[in-house]
């Protein structure tokens, strides 16, 4: 049922989250899904992610990719 569907990933962690997006991309591939994109951010406490420089811009760009993928 996931074959051909789009998938995006967002990972927020207090420490290294470098493997999260590649792991999600692998899952998408195993399920024959189209990888749309991903965003990561480091945040130690609730509310810190919104203060990460450039994060809002990256999330908006990803949202645009998700919408584009949904309309294809």
Q: Output the tens digit of pLDDT for each of the chain's 72 residues.
A: 889 999 999 999 988 888 999 999 999 999 999 999 999 999 999 899 989 999 999 999 999 999 999 888
Phi, psi of 4 (to 5 degrees): 85, -10
Cα–Cα distance measured from residue 35 to residue 14, given in angstroms and rounded to the nearest whole number: 25
Cα–Cα distance measured from residue 6 to residue 36, given in angstroms and rounded to the nearest whole number: 6
Which pTM value belongs to this model? 0.83
CB 33 within 8 A of CB 3: yes
């Amino acid at each position: 049922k996931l074959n051909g569907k789009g998938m995006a990933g967002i990972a927020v962690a207090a420490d290294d989250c470098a493997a999260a997006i590649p792991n999600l991309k692998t899952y998408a591939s195993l399920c024959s899904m189209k990888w749309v994109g991903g965003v990561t951010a480091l945040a130690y406490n609730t509310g810190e992610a919104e203060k990460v420089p450039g994060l809002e811009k990256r999330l908006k760009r990803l949202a645009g990719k998700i919408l584009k993928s949904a309309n294809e």
